[in-house]
Amino acid sequence: MKPQLQRRLVRFSAQIVGVDKHLTPCFASRHLYAQILRSATSAALNYGEAQTAESRKDFIHKLGVTLKELKETEVNLEVVLESQVFKNEQPVNDALKECKELIAIFMATRKTAKSNGEG
């Protein structure tokens, strides 16, 4: 896969690290942020594993795990926005926008990988 996509996931993970300082200090935001941090960084790690997949099936599976982690990140960011547990909304919106773009990329990548395996 493309190194620029891995780099983008790493930048996204770093972006998520920065979101913490924009959240309201409360139990709910700490809980949500911990989940967001785990799932966002896990997406980058799983994509790294996908690049060394042992088979097409393994590659597709690891892309699926990456996609699941991104979807979890997306939902948690939406909960942060909906519950308004932030001091500054813009970094959360920016992270959500990037997350949605990454989801679209990985959905297309997974679909392509699946269709290339047929036939």
pLDDT digits (tens, 9 = 90+) for 32-45: 999 999 999 999 99
Mean pLDDT, range 15-27, rounded to an integer: 96
- 102, 70 in Cβ contact below 8 A? yes
Q: How confident is the model at residue 14 (pLDDT cuts 50, 70, 90)?
A: very high
pLDDT at 118 exceeding the cut of 80:
no
Mean pLDDT, range 58-78, rounded to an integer: 96
Mean pLDDT, range 26-36, rounded to an integer: 96
- pLDDT given for residue 117 in this prediction: 65
- What would the two tokens of residue 107 be? 């959905």
Mean pLDDT, range 50-68, rounded to an integer: 92
Mean pLDDT, range 18-34, rounded to an integer: 96
Mean pLDDT, range 58-87, rounded to an integer: 96
- 50, 69 in Cβ contact below 8 A? no
* Domain annotation for the chain: domains and CATH numbers: 3-114 (1.20.1440.60)
Q: How confident is the model at residue 119 (pLDDT cuts 50, 70, 90)?
A: very low
Pick the more confident residue, 1 or 61. 61
d(CA 6, CA 16): 15
